[in-house]
Amino acid sequence: MVKINVHTDKGDKIQPPDLFQAARNNDIKELAAAIQDGQSLNDIEDVKSGLTPMHIACIHRSDTFLKAAVQYEFDPWIRDCNLRLAIDHARAQGLRDIQKALFEKMYPPSWDSDPVVRIDR
C-alpha cells in the first residue's frame, strides 16, 4: 500500500486530512489520506445534521469522491437527522451513476442468497 501524506498548512499548524472536507471539495487524494489516517465513511460530522461524508459528497455533487468512496467499506444505511440516506441525496441531485453504486452497496449481488433474509414459503 502506498502511503499518501496530505496535510494542509494553515498558518503555523499542519492539519491532518479531513474526510468531510474531502467530500465537500471532491478530493480523492484527501479521501485516501483520511481513510489511511483511520477516519471512516461512517463518521458523523455533527449531531444536529447526522451527515456522513457520503451524505455531504452527494449534497455537494462530488462525483469523483463518491466513485472512489464506494470502493471502501461503509454502511449505506446510515440516515441523517432528516431520515435521509446518502442515496436519497444522490437522487435529489440527479447523480444516477452514484445512485446505482449506492444501491449495489445496499443490495450486493449475494444479498438474496443470505439465509437470514430468505423467507421460505
- Tens digits of residue pLDDT in 31-81: 999 999 999 999 999 989 999 999 999 999 999 999 999 999 999 999 999
The pLDDT value given to residue 7:
55
Q: Flag whether pLDDT at 99 surpasses 70.
A: yes
Domain boundaries, the chain: 13-107
Higher pLDDT, 109 or 20: 20
pTM as predicted: 0.81
Output the CATH code of domain 13-107: 1.25.40.20
What is the average per-residue pLDDT within 69-94?
97
The pLDDT value given to residue 100:
96
The phi and psi torsions of 63 (rounded to 5 degrees) equal -65, -35
The pLDDT value given to residue 15:
87
HSE of 33, CA atoms in CB hemisphere, 13 A: 17
CA–CA distance, 62 with 79 (Å, rounded to integer): 19
